[in-house]
Structures are given as C-alpha cells and as structure tokens.
Amino acid sequence: MNQNLEKIVQQTLAEIQSAGLYKEHRVLESRQGTNVRVNGKEVLNFCANNYLGLSGREELVEYAKNALDKYGYGLSSVRFICGTQTVHKELEKKIAEFLHKDDAIIFTSCWDANEAVFATLLTDADAVISDELNHASIVDGIRLCKAERHVFKHRDLADLEEKLKFTQEKRLRCVVSDGVFSMDGHIAPLKEICDLAEKYNAYVVVDDSHATGFMGETGRGAVEACGVIDRVDLITTTFGKALGGANGGCIAGQKDIIDLFHQRARTTLFTNTVPPVIAATTMFVLDFIEAHPELRAQIWDNTNYFRAKMIVAGFTVPQDVHPIVPVMIGDGKVASDIAREMLAQGIYVIGFSYPVVPMGKARIRVQISAAHTHEQIDQLVATFASLGKKYSLIS
C-alpha cells in the first residue's frame, strides 16, 4: 500500500476514534422488526425507519418471492438500453398517482434522486435555496449543480424570504426542504414555504423520505399533512423507509419535467436499473398501506402514547408530533453510555452527539413503529426511567 495514503488514513481513523465518533456496526442476526437479535440476544428495536412495521413482514417476503419468479433477479442494464420492464413503468405510474403527480421516475435510492433533481434542471443562471438542516443527499445534490447556492436558517421563513428577494434576477429559483428533519422530527413549514415561493416565483422541491406512507390523512406524507401536495412542484422520496425498507426512491412531478430527467439525469443514464423484485414489491406495499389504514392510525397512537409517557416520567421531549422522538440528554458521553446500557437491558436505541447534532444537545433518538405494542413501549419508558434516575436526568 502507498505509504502516504496509509499514514493519512491511519491518522484520520485515529482522529475519529479520539473524538468518540467511531461507528461500530451492531450486527442484526435476524430479520428487521420490532424484535431483533443482536449479539445472540433478543432486543426491542426502537431505531429503525420501519414506521409501518413492513420491513420484515411476511406478506412482503412472500410477494417478493413471486416477483423474483416472474421478473428474474437483475437486468444488467441501465433503464434506457434494456433495463425497463413493465414493472418499472407500472411502479412509476403508481407512485405518481400516490403522490398526486402526473408522472414519476424511479432511482435506486432517494440519494440518487436528489443527485439528479438539481443538476438536471439548474444552470449557473439559476439559484437554489436550501434549509440548513436538509439531508446530506440534498447538500451533495446541490454541490453537483452550477446554480448559485443559498442556505436559509432552519425553518426560518424570514431568512428564506430574504434569500428569495436577493435572487430575483436569476432565471430560476428553486427552494428545497426536507418534509421532516431526521434529527429532531421537525416538520417543515411547507405551506408557508409554498406561499413564499409563489410570491417570488420560485419552484419547490420537498424530500419527503421520513413521511411518505404514513403522514397526512391518506399517508401521502408531510406534503399532505401540510396541505400542499398539489402545490409543491417536485417530491423526492425513498422506498427504503416506511415503504418496505429495501431501497429505491423517486422524483414525482409534471410529465415534461420527469421526461427531462429520463433524458438528462446522470443517476439514471449511467447506473443500473432498480431490481424488479423491489419495484414489484414497492407496488405491493402501496396497495397494502391503502388496504391497511389501521397501520397509520397505530403509528400515531403509539407515538402519542410514548411522548405522553416520557413527559410524565420527567424527560425533555420537544413538542412535536412525529414518530422520530429525540429524548434530550445534553452530554454526548452520557447519551452514548445510556444507549449502551439500554442495549444491555434489551432496548436497542442510538445516541446522537456533536457534530451530528449541536454541542450540548446530545440525545437518544427513538423511532416508533406501528408494529410496536403498548407493552413494548412501556418497557422502553421504564428502561429510560430507571437509567434517567441513575444518570440524574430525572428525579
């Protein structure tokens, strides 16, 4: 190995270690679900994006087996050569309808969708205005385009308006926000964002990855919950969270814009097609969630139940509504110690500390699923309560 490279890599790893930021993988020895096996032990999982509990669910596995028989395993092609099967077209139609748009284009991940969504449409004549806490894939997607970049303070409409005014001379202005922000479970003020965009003639992109499938009256996402599903120009989202949890993502919008992505987006032109088993099973999931509204009811019931119990127990839990529930701890080391002790007591959660969240705002991020039972949530709260006392977080 090249000596220079070796030295630099070792130094960097040592820095990551000494900052306490080194990530060990905790290996699951089972399917994903509310109960998983880690280190030979059954634990309750409260850190998956498995909002509707579909990831390990038998109906999906059975459907996927049939889809494998029907469509085969892989296509060995990008979409435009020989990598488009009926199932890809069908999913694009179905997810577009689901998101109230004309059309959609699927990608192998929402990451790839976000890499496509800016660079395909924006040039150096344009401007993009992005919330400071937007997902890393949006940050990188913006890096790939030549538009002038502006970042507005998190959910700060006055700052957004300032940036919209400042960019009035540009050919196009694009405002982009996560629908839900993953570290806090904050929901973006999408109605106000759409109002401002309209006032200043900008178009709006929302990445609804943490909301598609379960937020809003019919599960269309934060765009539905905020009443703007028909106002946002483009929605990007993932199939890797609530919608079965494998992978894949899409951009949904007006037909001619989607057509342009098929013509120009580099993350579809130069990369392999979505495996048909995933496309087929994602369609199955869209039908499944339509047929099972009780899953949506259950996730909100479970989330409210957990939030209320934690507040009664004396913990600091921000006043939000999303199943991402940050339990504020403060000190980074305490957060990771508590998470470790919780795992030993059969509860799998993760502590987040600086630089992922601001200094002094370390937290344990709990994620509730429709598949959790109230008894499991009681167990989670009881474990938090006993460790909260031990670490003097509550009295």
Ligand X SMILES: *Cc1c(COP(=O)(O)O)cnc(C)c1O
Sheet of 362-367, strand order:
324-330, 362-367, 350-352
SS (H, E, C) 34-56: CEEEECCEEEEECCCCCCCCCCC
Whole-angstrom Cα distance, residue 86 to residue 255? 18
296 sits near ligand X (criterion: CB under 6 A): no
Q: Active-site residue 210, yes or no?
A: yes
Q: 199-218: which residues touch ligand X (CB under 6 A)?
A: 207, 209-210
Q: How far is the CB of 54 from ligand X (least distance, A)?
A: 15
Rounded CA gap, 261 and 269, in Å? 9
Closer to ligand X at the Cβ: 181 or 288? 181
Q: In this chain, which of 34, 45, 85, 137 binds ligand X, going by CB under 6 A?
A: 137
Q: What is the DSSP string of 311-350?
A: HHHT----S--SSEEEEEEESHHHHHHHHHHHHHTTEE-E
50 makes contact with ligand X (CB under 6 A): no
> In whole angstroms, how close is the CB of 107 to ligand X at the nearest point?
8
To ligand X, the closest distance from the beta carbon of 110 in angstroms equals 3
Tell me the Ramachandran region of residue 247: left when phi exceeds 0, alpha when psi lies from -120 to 50, beta otherwise.
beta
Min dist. Cβ of residue 131 to ligand X (A): 11
> Considering 101, 163, 210, 322, which one is annotated as catalytic?
210
Within 100-129, the residues that bind ligand X by CB under 6 A are: 109-111
Annotation marks residue 241 as catalytic? yes
Q: Which of 109, 182, 336, 353 is catalytic?
A: 182
Residue 238 lies near ligand X (rule: CB under 6 A): yes
Identify which of residues 94 and 170 has a Cβ nearer to ligand X in the complex. Answer: 94
The C-alpha atoms of residue 268 and residue 257 are separated, in whole angstroms, by 14
Say whether 182 is catalytic. yes
Q: Do strands 362-367 and 103-107 pair parallel, antiparallel, or not at all (unpaired)?
A: unpaired
Residues identified as active-site: 182, 210, 241
- Where along the sequence are the contacts to ligand X (CB under 6 A)? 109-111, 135, 137, 178, 182, 207, 209-210, 238, 240, 247, 249
